[in-house]
Amino acid sequence: MSNDTVYIDRFLEMMAAEGGASQNTLSAYRSDLEQASSFAKGKLADSDRDALQNAASAWSDLKNNSVSRKSSSLRRFFGFLVEEGFRQDDPSDALPRPGGQRSLPRVLSHDEIARLFETIETRLASQQIKPNDARLSALIELLYGSGLRASELVSLPRKSVMVDRPFLIIRGKGGKERLVPISDRARSAVKRWSDFVDADEKYLFPSRTGHISRIRLFQIIKDLAVKSDISPAKISPHVLRHAFATHLLEGGADLRALQTLLGHSDISTTQIYTHVDSARLVELVNNRHPLSRRNLTR
């Protein structure tokens, strides 16, 4: 079994669980990726920009819609590889874009985030807190408050959050480590949940076979969305991670800081996952540009 086969299977599992992709969509992704892998002699995941450009040259006789779909499949695939730490760079910007610019990722508004936490706070207000509610609080605080990847979150060691330490040490794929700040309220939520976890457990969010799966995390978040009167189609672990980055950017964080927090090796990846609305960009130009403070009407 080639590495491509493993990576493609994991990618499709992610698209089914976190993206809610239909069976037809998954079949289309698999077809596009397996064709590209065959062209790359089973080394698609290791392809560089030149290799992808060569692969795209075989699409010259296809209609724009087909080229756009294939490019989109490969971009998502390489975005997944970078996001999960399987490679350091994303060469997919070398692919053609016949359909125009890439659409912005989904993101939740501040109001929608507030509704999620209101639902959690209502559950925690009961005299006897249920274990599942304590776990839910810890999961969401870490996802939105620290921008963890789903895979990083579910596999956190039980002792990874310390009462006297305002950060996590996250070890990604390939042994790469990064420091992730953790808020006081997130530490409090984790402490509350830890009281329900046996001291001998290896993971902070254990299951019968190890730790909870990404699919289970996805289901938990979808259920929270429904109870918060938010369309479950709008939310996933990655959407909360993206909301973390976007809302920090809106609050004044710079891309380099976000790159560090998100664990991106390439700043271009950070630019894809963080965006601001056009109204804020206009406000920045009008209020922050040096010429905005000069009277040019004299």
Inform me whether the pLDDT recorded for 119 exceeds 90.
yes
Mean pLDDT lowest among 41-55, 85-99, 218-232? 85-99
The widest CA-to-CA distance across the chain, in whole angstroms, is: 75
The residue type at 191 = K
CATH number of the domain encompassing residue 171: 1.10.443.10
Q: How many angstroms separate the CA atoms of 175 and 242, rounded?
A: 23
Specify the 3-state DSSP secondary structure of 31: helix
| Same domain? 89 vs 177 | no
Residues of the domain holding 55: 3-94
| Nearest-angstrom CA–CA distance, 212 and 48 | 34
Residue 247 φ/ψ, nearest 5 degrees: -70, -30
**Which residues are annotated as catalytic?**
149, 173, 238, 241, 264, 273
Of 152, 190, 191, nearest in space to 170 by CA = 152
Q: How far is the C-alpha of 156 from the C-alpha of 100, rounded, in Å? A: 39
Give the model confidence (pLDDT) of 218-248 as tens digits.
999 999 999 999 998 888 888 898 888 888 8
- The verdict on 116 and 55 lying in the same domain is no
Q: Which residues contact 241 (CB under 8 A, 6 or more apart)?
A: 143, 147, 148, 149, 150, 262, 273
| 21, 122, 123, 136 from 127: Cα distances, Å | 40, 11, 10, 17
Among 48, 66, 94, residue at a domain's last position: 94
| Claim to verify: residue 146 and residue 188 sit in the same structural domain | yes
- Give 66's pLDDT tier (boundaries 50, 70, 90): confident
Report how far residue 123's alpha carbon sits from residue 193's, in angstroms, rounded to the nearest whole number.
14
Is 173 domain-assigned? yes
pLDDT digits (tens, 9 = 90+) for 13-42: 888 876 667 788 888 899 999 999 988 889
| Amino acid identity at 51 | A
Q: Are 235 and 108 within 8 A, CB to CB?
A: yes
Does 290 fall in a domain? no
298 in any annotated domain: no
Q: Are residues 78 and 131 in the same domain?
A: no
Residue 60: is its pLDDT beyond 70? yes
Are 48 and 138 members of one domain?
no
Same domain (yes/no): 58, 181: no
How many domains are there within the chain?
2
Whether the pLDDT of residue 1 is over 70: the answer is no
